[in-house]
Amino acid sequence: MQKRIMGKSGLEVSALGLGCMGMSFSYGPPKDKQEMIALIRTAVERGVTFFDTAEVYGPFTNEELVGEALAPLRDQVVIATKFGFDTGVDPRAMKGSGPVLNSRPEHIKQVAEASLKRLRTDVIDLLYQHRVDPDVPIEDVAGAVKELIQAGKVRHFGLSEAGIQTVRRAHAVQPVAAVQNEYSLWFRRPEEGLLQTLEELGIGLVPYSPLGKGFLTGAMNEKTTFDSSDFRSTLPRFTPEALKANQALVDLLASIAAEKKATPAQIALAWLLAQKPWIVPIPGTTKLDRLDENIGAVAIELTPYDLGKIDAAAAQIAVQGARYPEKLEQMTGR
């Protein structure tokens, strides 16, 4: 497995990480705990060193899973987790006002202490603010994490779905190692200024949903249905009409994959890896064969010609459907 360094932070991780959320939260019922522990440990054997979780996933159960799985391998891995929601309110309450944010400095410190226990570790390698809290100045958030870093409880500071000016303001108080944003061939907003800002400041990008929440694997079509416990059942981009309209993007990936003797998922990940040397996607999976398939993307080389061909074809495809319901979309880009 190749390694990558997040910008100027010195944080070195495997070129692909593993997003662990879906093992216990958001994509249907929680999966079998022992099977997921085995999968996480197999990922380490395959060379994956970067694991992503958050207190809100479950809540709490995903951190506990990741902590138990990685405790015997702690010195080999980098663990990222997140604060920023009020977990006293069910995070799945997407209706009405949606999830409740809380990034008050005293809350951040409480969350960090609780996360350390659940993760069975004495230091969090990368601690992200999960969503920007408009009621708390980002300077106060960065200052709180800076104090945790000075206390030896956190190594690096990250932001998720933050706007460009917020990233700049936070970085001025405590250097930001990584920004985690959705980025893939079917969601390219980071190209509208964020990538340039991160390059300027020396910050890594961690794309979540790099396979379009499963869509870019080619495993779905307009007849695909989602259980009510599956987050995708609430997303405009996963209606039958949108799935049908967006199939052209999967067809594009499939045509490139056929030339490269690869899969659509591998081409989608290879495309991301080819964008910048400081980009580290974190595809999630609960299946060993998918884990191996994703890891295989690291070995695929897309030439400038390939990338130009993909971009030219993708530019002709208008992706249909919003990625989030309005309340959740309002929490991004602040």
Average pLDDT (277-303) is 97
User: Which of the following is catalytic: 27, 57, 183, 324?
Assistant: 57
Q: Does the pLDDT at position 25 exceed 70? A: yes
Residues 6+ apart with CB under 8 A from 151: none
pLDDT of residue 229: 86
pLDDT of residue 178: 98
Average pLDDT (266-289) is 97
Name the band, by pLDDT with cuts 50, 70 and 90, for residue 279. very high
Q: Does the pLDDT at position 94 exceed 50? A: no
For the chain, the structural domain boundaries read 3-211+273-300
Q: CA 109 to CA 83: how far, in whole Å?
A: 9
SS3 readout for 306-323: HHHHHHHHHCCCCCCCCC
Average pLDDT (106-122) is 98
Strand 124-129 and strand 3-5: the pairing is unpaired
Name the band, by pLDDT with cuts 50, 70 and 90, for residue 292. very high
Q: Does the pLDDT at position 228 exceed 90? A: no
pLDDT of residue 301: 93
Residue 127, strand partner residues: 81, 157
Percent of the chain topping pLDDT 70: 97
Q: Does the pLDDT at position 92 exceed 90? A: no
Active site residue 57: yes
pLDDT of residue 99: 79
Q: Does the pLDDT at position 89 exceed 80? A: no
pLDDT of residue 98: 64
Task: Return the CATH number of 3-211+273-300, one of 2.40.50.100, 3.20.20.100, 2.60.40.1290, 1.10.599.10.
Answer: 3.20.20.100
